[in-house]
Amino acid sequence: MIYVFLADGFEETEAIAPIDLLRRAGKKVVTVGVGDNMITSSHGVTMVTDTIQQEAPLTDELEMIVLPGGMPGTLNLEKSPYVQKAIDFCTANGKYIGAICAAPSILGHRGLLKGRKAVCYEGFETQLEGAETGSEPVAADGIFITSRGAGTAVEFGLALVEKAVSKAESDRIRASIMCF
């Protein structure tokens, strides 16, 4: 099971593209509302989530969490004690954490990216404390998969599929959606 956390002010493309691609790969993806199950994106799109954070158990069935960016969505994710608890659970249990756009800053503020390759939205690099930042669309290092922004959301989703399933499945989906 994969949780995609959505908080008011999230970036739509950064959430929907990974959800779509992971579901195409056969993964059970659960959208988790931070605060409520009616979440409004940074561009005024309202989504109804599958569940809310208080009803999303942190168990061994959880394989990965995904943190979409956007503003103020990233700030709302970061101030959620439950999102912080989910990050703790994943780091303690070797579960993948995907973060895109501004959201890698949540991991950076906690020092989780020290000495790791990571990317983020331009201008947030200073918030990735101790990370080896680059300009590639996606960086994967250990349990952390980070990406730059809405324009890299499909590549990010395919990288998540590669980690959650396999490179072959990621390649199959890449071809099926004509992403060359």
| Helix, coil or strand: residue 105 | helix
Cβ(8)–Cβ(141) below 8 Å: no
User: H or E stretch including 20?
Assistant: helix 12-24
pLDDT tens column, 149-170: 999 999 999 999 999 999 999 9
pLDDT tens column, 62-87: 999 999 999 999 999 999 999 999 99
Peptide bond just before 72 cis, omega within 30 deg: yes
CA 19 vs CA 23, 67, 112, 129, 153: distances in Å: 6, 11, 24, 28, 10
* Bridge partners (DSSP) listed for residue 55: none
Q: Is residue 94 left, alpha or beta, with left meaning phi > 0 and alpha meaning psi from -120 to 50?
A: left
pLDDT at 51: 97
**Distance separating alpha carbons of residues 53 and 87, to the nearest angstrom:** 13
* Bridge partners (DSSP) listed for residue 141: 144
Cβ(7)–Cβ(73) below 8 Å: yes
pLDDT at 61: 97
Hunting for tokens 């499909």 — which residue is that? 154
pLDDT at 135: 95
Domain range 2-176, CATH architecture = 3-Layer(aba) Sandwich (3.40)
CA 18 vs CA 40, 57, 121: distances in Å: 18, 21, 17
pLDDT at 165: 98
Cβ(40)–Cβ(71) below 8 Å: no
**Distance separating alpha carbons of residues 155 and 52, to the nearest angstrom:** 27
Residue ranges in the chain modelled with pLDDT below 50: none
Tokens matching residue 54: 């208080």
Does the pTM surpass 0.95? The reply is yes
